[in-house]
Amino acid sequence: MTRAIPLDGREQFSALVPGEPVIIFKDVRIGFDDREVLQGISFETVYGETKVLLGEGGSGKTLIMKMAAGLLRPDSGTVTVMGHNIGEMGEKELLQFRRYIGFVFQEGALFDSMTVAENVAFRLGEEGVDETEAEKRVREALRFVEMESALERYPGELSGGMRRRVSIARALVDRPPILFYDSPTAGLDPVTCQTIMSLILRGRDLQGVTSLLATQRVQDAFGLANFHFDKNTGQILRDKPENNHAVQTPERANRALPERKTAPLKKPTGSTMESKGTSDATGFPSSDGGTSATNVLVLRDGKIYFEGAADALLNTSDEYLNEFLASAK
């Protein structure tokens, strides 16, 4: 992407077209205390795409998202978001830029001295949105994550899953065009994980955002790749294989592991998205719809080990990836 989207109004984002790169990492390196955590990461995320960053703990998933949000600066390489080189922006410009992104932190990172309603309304208050309008939008966002009844409660009174849901509401309240989810299901029980992933699916398919999602759970990647939220029925439905529009450029296909040394794996049976056991054991009725554009990026030893569609990951015979997939069983 060469053109920079001006950061002076949301209407500018309507100019973005599907397939246009929104987030570009070019040979990005970052390290701490003499240890280089990311060693030359390059990838692109196009408009409307959800990129799932998979990797073990400490592989640098969160660092990638924090750099994309301008919360960290790379040691070398360039990070371009909506045409803006994040590394060259000053903190004031970055603050303006961040008003167009949403960030869901691993533990929610809710302001513990504020109520749920105040947390969700925080950005609206900063932008000077009228109080009545702000209240309406806060209720709407909390209704979306099914937390409207917790308006006046404090984060300390909520469970881990509830805090994540409020955090998602806070990120979505201003309908940002880009969303970053940092391990949104980490440390949660399977049922709550399913609830969180359903919310992310709904957010993606109702608001059409471009997003990065860091996770250690393969199930999250397959959930996003194989399911969609149907606006007509209001249900989460399984995509038909031919309807999965995962963005697969020739360049990415080449980077996906070329050799398959072992037989293709079965789908992870422990997937929370597949745990309800109705038609084809998905828990969700199938539909003809499905517009997901989800790609997976696996990080290992500071480098991109795999990049491609979830199906390609599922059918790989690579030993390391197999181990990763097996962990979801």
Interface residues with another protein (CB under 8 A)?
66, 69, 71, 91-92, 94-99, 101, 103, 105-107, 109-112, 122-123, 126, 170
Cα 243 from chain centre: 21
Toward another protein, which CB reaches closer, 68 or 246?
68
| Pair 204, 211: CB distance under 8 Å | yes
Toward another protein, which CB reaches closer, 103 or 229?
103
Please count the other Cβ atoms lying within 10 Å of the Cβ belonging to residue 56. Answer: 14
190-193 long-range CB contacts below 8 Å, 24 or more apart? 190/272, 190/275, 191/272, 192/159, 192/160, 192/161, 192/164, 193/217, 193/219, 193/220, 193/272
Q: What minimum distance in Å lies between the beta carbon of 156 and another protein? A: 11
| Pair 104, 179: CB distance under 8 Å | yes
Q: What minimum distance in Å lies between the beta carbon of 18 and another protein? A: 26
Q: What minimum distance in Å lies between the beta carbon of 261 and another protein? A: 31
List beta partners, residue 79: 25
User: Is residue 254 within a helix (H) or strand (E), and if so which, with residue range?
Assistant: helix 250-255
Toward another protein, which CB reaches closer, 173 or 225?
173
Measured at the CA of 164, the angle between CA 322 and CA 190, to 5 degrees, comes to 45
Toward another protein, which CB reaches closer, 163 or 252?
163
Q: What minimum distance in Å lies between the beta carbon of 120 and another protein? A: 11
Toward another protein, which CB reaches closer, 102 or 289?
102
